[in-house]
Structure 1
């Protein structure tokens, strides 16, 4: 059992590495540069200011160096500064210690996910068991079609 767990943990390392690699490069496949948000909205910005922004965000370095810097920051849970007007660190915005626990964004997100998981389990398990015991019945066919419609439906409709 221990060897199986060790093997699974070793498989986790390249999987996580692959996920970070794909995430990073998909972000860089978007047209333009991340600094275009600032520079296109401000027509008075100078080329020197644009270069300063690129240097600040590390966009003047090679893509491999950028990935290494990004990976180190992610490992330290340093998600950078928010692009909103207050420019606070993202982690501070997610887990604001000044607010009570019930008002923190990460806690609220966790509770919403936990509630949705509970609702899914309360509904899905009994429906699935009932559908399995009444195989090929009208109930089974209706629930199967309903599940497919539920999966096909965009999340913003729910």
Structure 2
């Protein structure tokens, strides 16, 4: 199994820039806990977003990152449980053709990818992954001329 550490997809010729086009269902954690996603453990703290995607996948986003990545769907007020739409924030992504793992962040939860899953880089040192079928359904490649 490959293990990635401190990889920079912005310099990787096999990576591209993508945006997520998805409306998700969100419940904000009222206490600390752990959700086991398809990719591994996702620990959360009070106020973090527990997300169910349009394909049924579940994962956690910290409160600070959530407000930068999602907008409430009207008439929902920000911070309330309900439907949120992903902001068109570009990410770097690369399909990996063998099983792999990566820490979400330094010292963070370790995610496990299967062959053909996608490694995502949101910012330097900030990673995620998406199952191939889900990635194809919710991500759109950006033209090369679009800035990040």
Which one has the largest radius of gyration?
1
- Structure showing the higher strand proportion among its residues: 2
Fold shared, TM-score > 0.5 on shorter chain: no
* Structure showing the higher helix proportion among its residues: 1
Task: Tell me: higher relative CO, structure 1 or 2? Use CA pairs within 8 A at least 6 residues apart.
Answer: 2
TM-score range, shorter chain: under 0.3
The TM-score normalised by the length of structure 1 is 0.21
